[in-house]
Amino acid sequence: MGSQNLTGKRYAFLVTNGYEDSELTSPWQAVTEAGGQPVLVAPKPGVVTGKHGHEQQVDQAVNAATSADFDGLMLPGGVVNADHLRMDLNAAAFVRAFFEEHKPVGVICHGAWILIEAGVVDGRTITSYPSLKTDLRNAGAVWVDEEVVVDNGLVSSRRPDDLPAFNGKLVEEFAEGKHAAQAV
């Protein structure tokens, strides 16, 4: 992970209250250590709180954010977080735009729910928390039970225990930049 340089690049981390704390903080640290600038994007300004109490200041509201301002996107999980984000039309459109622009996207655990709502999983190989398997398959994804899966710029993992492997692949894909096959 240390050889991947993200200096001068910005990465959106999209969450709302109820995110899985480590699924925000661990990738955030990995991106920061690689020289990238993580930016917290949420449905509302203020502070968001994780399910275990981690609080973090929102940098930008999703309705004012544009994918053109970022080099990639990270979607932490957490059941409440993911469920609320997938119901937010601005959040779904924001996510979809990264795929339309061929930019790398990382997703872990329940975060994959918003990918379904954004309409970007059909034909993609992905992993997630096992309870999303049927939802992802019904949306056209090829679901696999693996620690980390990379599919043309889409990096996915199952749970917090997978973060060490996930973070390495996330930074690698972020460093590679746009992927022609990363599209809807």
Catalytic residue (choose from 52, 54, 102, 109): 109
Give the bridge partners for 182, in sequence order.
none
Torsion angle in degrees (nearest 10) through CA of 38, 41, 47, 50 = -80
Please return the burial class of 103, using the count of CB atoms within 10 Å of its CB with bins 0-12, 13-18 and 19+.
buried
Query: Cβ–Cβ contacts within 10 Å for residue 2, how many?
Result: 8
Catalytic residue (choose from 52, 54, 102, 110): 110
Provide the residue type at 117 as one letter.
E
Residue closest to 170 by CA, chosen among 153, 152, 184 = 153
Give catalytic status of residue 54 as yes or no: no
Give catalytic status of residue 110 as yes or no: yes
| Cβ proximity of 150 and 66 under 8 Å | no
Residue closest to 109 by CA, chosen among 52, 24, 16 = 24
Q: Which residues are part of the catalytic machinery? A: 109-110
